[in-house]
Amino acid sequence: MKKSYAVDMVNGPLFSRILIYAFPLILSGVLQLLFNAADIVVVGKFTGSHALAAVGSTSALINLLVNLFIGISIGTNVMVARYCGARDWQNCEDTVHTSIAISIIGGILMIFVGVLFAKPLLELMGTPADVITHSVLYMRIYFLGMPAFMIYNFGAAILRAIGDTKRPLYFLTVAGVVNVIFNLFFVIVFNMGVAGVAVATVISQVISAVLILMCLLKMDGMCQLHKNKIRLHAGKVKEMLRIGIPAGLQGIVFSISNVLIQSSINSFGSVVMAGNTAASNIEGFVYTAMNAIYQTSLSFTSQNLGAGNTARIKKILFYCLGIVTVIGLVLGQGAYLLGRPLLSIYSSDPAVVDFGLVRLSIVSASYFFCGLMDVCCGSIRGLGYSIMPMLVSLTGACAFRVLWIFTFFQIEHTLFSLYISYPISWILTFAVHLLCFIYAYRKLMKTKLNLQPAEA
């Protein structure tokens, strides 16, 4: 009998299975962040603060360019989970092969986008002249690995949908170790600077993509991948886009607001940029732990909806809200309290560390509000709603931040006034998302009640 890697999301106790499902996701997210952290630490320590600023200044722009496809991968997760819950073999198989086809096409497309538009977009962001050459080089090399990046993310979404969060963790462990080794090798031995860390990242992405493809090809069941069946199924593309594009657009607009914030940070100079980069990277570990609970709420809600277990959906949200609050408070406050030694890992410049602490004291300390916002959004998406959570997030978080930058920040041109826009936007958006979930859940229960046959 083959070892089962999947968590049964539709039967048995919820709380323990949510934790079992989420823990490998948290570790996977941490490993993915270590790709970028290794880049930043190595260039910061062995190349200098200008190279550190160059690598860090690209993250918001990279997220902006790839978020549409990341959103479509969320559509993959929702659809595969729902079909698995309903035991709908054919539709699940078609979704899997359509997803891999989209990942390949999207990855090739993103190579051209990244290579051609890296410099004009970085210039548009106001990237300082002393770092832009390195930033452009890093981005162009990074985007050569986009096909592998897309294949891994879509493949991991398929595995998560069936309850398997362990094997993506194993694959990222291998890729993460390779990334760190090649980072040190290319930068210290060959003195390649930002180009070296970019090449190391691409190599690690290729390894993780190959491993996940081998897994899908060899696995049994409705999610098995067959090379000769990889193609676009029109109906599945339409449904995947219906769910995924709003999520992707939400991510894009979030990234636009983050690009505007990054541009505002750029106006304070390269030392502040370096401090912000280091602090953002530390916060990334907090965020990825909370984002694992968002993905958990999405998958559990989708599978239980497909299986008709509507009574479990409300419990899933409550459990996930509680777990993400604990994670956000413990890790967020911990990152701030240990901020100075943590920031010193990235840079030995005292000024860089001081500016990083300013961000941690505001953003990291209140990060659990972001987790609450995301979990609510995940549960709503798991129920099949795509436009509603997008509109709420765009209005409550993105539009608010953009308005803040062009109004209050212009009056009070300080880092505090810039960073405080984050927690305020999270609180507002969480409150509205919670109301939307209550509306969607009540509508679901009412529909289910109306569909039940009357007693004789």
Query: Quick one: 292 and 390 in the same domain?
Result: yes
| CB neighbour list of residue 95: distance below 8 Å, 6 or more residues apart | 76, 79, 80, 83, 233, 236, 240
Q: Which one of 175, 204, 232 terminates a domain?
A: 232
387 in a domain, yes or no? yes
For residues 210 and 303, membership in a common domain is answered with: no
> Residue 454 falls within a domain, yes or no?
no
Cβ of 362: how many Cβ atoms within 10 Å? 20
Structural domain total, the chain: 2
Last residue of a domain, one of 207, 232, 257: 232
Question: Do residues 128 and 56 make contact, with C-beta atoms less than 8 angstroms apart?
Answer: no
Predicted local distance difference test score (pLDDT) of residue 2: 47
Same domain, 289 and 400: yes
Q: How far apart are CA 10 and CA 35, in angstroms?
A: 34
d(CA 80, CA 89): 10
- In terms of Cα–Cα distance, which of 308, 251, 298, 245 is closest to 85? 308
For 361, the token pair is 């004291």
Cα 127–chain centre separation? 24
Residue 456: its pLDDT value, please? 33
For residue 221, the model assigns a pLDDT of 82
pLDDT at 450: 62
Q: Is residue 450 part of a domain?
A: no
Q: Which two tokens stand for residue 321?
A: 């809200």
Instruction: Render each residue's pLDDT in the chain as its tens digit; 456 residues.
Output: 345 678 888 888 999 999 999 999 888 888 777 766 666 777 777 666 667 777 766 776 787 778 778 888 888 988 998 888 888 888 999 999 999 999 999 999 999 988 898 888 888 877 777 778 888 888 899 999 999 999 999 999 999 888 888 998 899 889 888 888 888 888 788 877 788 888 988 999 999 999 999 999 998 888 889 999 999 999 999 988 888 888 777 777 776 777 777 778 887 887 888 888 888 888 888 988 999 999 999 999 989 998 888 889 999 999 999 999 999 999 999 999 998 998 888 778 888 888 889 899 999 989 999 999 999 999 999 898 888 988 998 888 778 888 888 888 888 888 888 889 889 999 999 999 999 999 999 988 887 666 554 443
Residue 37 belongs to a domain:
yes
Q: What does the alpha-carbon distance between residue 33 and residue 36 come to, in Å, rounded to a whole number? A: 5
One domain for residues 74 and 163? yes
Q: Which residue has the tokens 């993310």?
A: 153
Asked if residue 175 is part of any domain, the answer here is yes
Residue 86 sits in the same domain as residue 119: yes
Q: Assess whether 389 and 357 both reside in one domain.
A: yes
293 within domain boundaries: yes
On whether residue 417 sits in a domain, the answer given is yes
Q: Given this model, what pLDDT does residue 452 score?
A: 53
Residue 6 lies in a domain: no
* 192 and 339 assigned to the same domain: no
3-state secondary structure the chain: CCCCCCCCCCCCCHHHHHHHHHHHHHHHHHHHHHHHHHHHHHHHHHCCHHHHHHHHCCHHHHHHHHHHHHHHHHHHHHHHHHHHHHCCHHHHHHHHHHHHHHHHHHHHHHHHHHHHHHHHHHHHCCCCCCCHHHHHHHHHHHHCCHHHHHHHHHHHHHHHHCCCCHHHHHHHHHHHHHHHHHHHHHHHHCCCCHHHHHHHHHHHHHHHHHHHHHHHHHCCCCCCCCHHHCCCCHHHHHHHHHHHHHHHHHHHHHHHHHHHHHHHHHCCCHHHHHHHHHHHHHHHHHHHHHHHHHHHHHHHHHHHHHHCCCHHHHHHHHHHHHHHHHHHHHHHHHHHHCHHHHHHHHCCCHHHHHHHHHHHHHCHHHCHHHHHHHHHHHHHHHCCCCHHHHHHHHHHHHHHHHHHHHCHHHHCCCHHHHHCHHHHHHHHHHHHHHHHHHHHHHHHHHHHHHHCCCCC
Question: Do residues 118 and 208 share a domain?
Answer: yes
Domain boundary among the residues 197, 232, 267 is at: 232
Pair 294, 357 in one domain: yes
The pTM score is 0.81
Same domain, 295 and 375: yes
- CA-to-CA distance for 382 and 163, rounded, in angstroms? 14
Structural domain span for residue 61: 12-232
